[in-house]
Amino acid sequence: MAVRQIIEFGDETLRKRAREVEKIDDRIATLVEDMKETMALANGVGLAAPQVGVLRRVVVVELEGVGVVELINPVIKKTSGHQEDIEGCLSYPGEYGITSRPMNVTVEALNLEGKKVKYSVSGLSARAVCHEVDHLDGKLFIDCVLRMLEPDELKGDKKE
């Protein structure tokens, strides 16, 4: 495993659509493990492959009550409810805003074994899934932000 560099705002890769994973092989497994390590070191709750410069539809995300999971070719199947909360992004270090996201999300994807997985999550986990899946389509949290926060507005309640 290796820690990968997280690319930051301004890098055109963040605005590109990631390609489907056609074959789950050793390269994808290594990518997933590297992303998990990178996310943990950066104290994030999610990381998408484009954030480490790889245009593949791969996400790692920490789900409440489940732990860190990989989502390969994720598709959000259902959303409901509404939440507005603080959100940040590892590709926008130190920047936070209030975003509008669904309160509940059901996502389907493949795991590293190529098996279909389905998670129904809410709250922070729902926000994280939406945030990371957006990355796969070149959409960034600043595209969803209702209002950016000033540094003095942060109360130690950062969510990346």
pLDDT band at residue 152 using 50, 70 and 90 as cut-offs: confident
pLDDT digits (tens, 9 = 90+) for 110-143: 999 999 999 999 999 999 999 999 999 999 999 9
CA 6 → CA 34, 51, 95, 115, 133, distances in Å?
Answer: 11, 6, 15, 28, 17
Tell me whether residue 142 is in a domain: yes
Name the more confident of 66 and 151: 66
Q: How does the average pLDDT of the chain come out, rounded?
A: 95
87 catalytic residue (yes or no): no
- What's the domain count of the chain? 1
The separation between CA 80 and the C-alpha centre of its own chain, rounded to angstroms, equals 19
Whether 160 shows a pLDDT value over 50: the answer reads no
Tell me whether residue 7 is in a domain: no
Tell me whether residue 46 is in a domain: yes
- Stretch 68-82: mean pLDDT: 98
The active-site residue, picked from 62, 70, 87, 132, is: 132
- The CATH number that applies at residue 112 is 3.90.45.10
Tell me whether residue 39 is in a domain: yes
Tell me whether residue 159 is in a domain: no
Whether 156 shows a pLDDT value over 80: the answer reads no
Residues 99, 87 contacting (CB under 8 angstroms): yes
Name the more confident of 131 and 153: 131
Tell me whether residue 48 is in a domain: yes
Tell me whether residue 160 is in a domain: no
Residues 108, 22 contacting (CB under 8 angstroms): no
Q: Which residue bears the tokens 């690319």?
A: 7
The predicted structure's pLDDT at residue 117: 98
Tell me whether residue 4 is in a domain: no
47 vs 54: CA distance, rounded Å: 11
pLDDT digits (tens, 9 = 90+) for 49-72: 999 999 999 999 999 999 999 999
DSSP assignment string, 59-118:
EEEEETTTEEEEEEEEEEEEEES-EEEEEEETTEEEEEEEEEE-SEEEEEEE-TTS-EEE
Q: Which domain holds residue 113?
A: 12-153
Q: Residue 37, SS3?
A: helix
Stated pTM of the model: 0.93
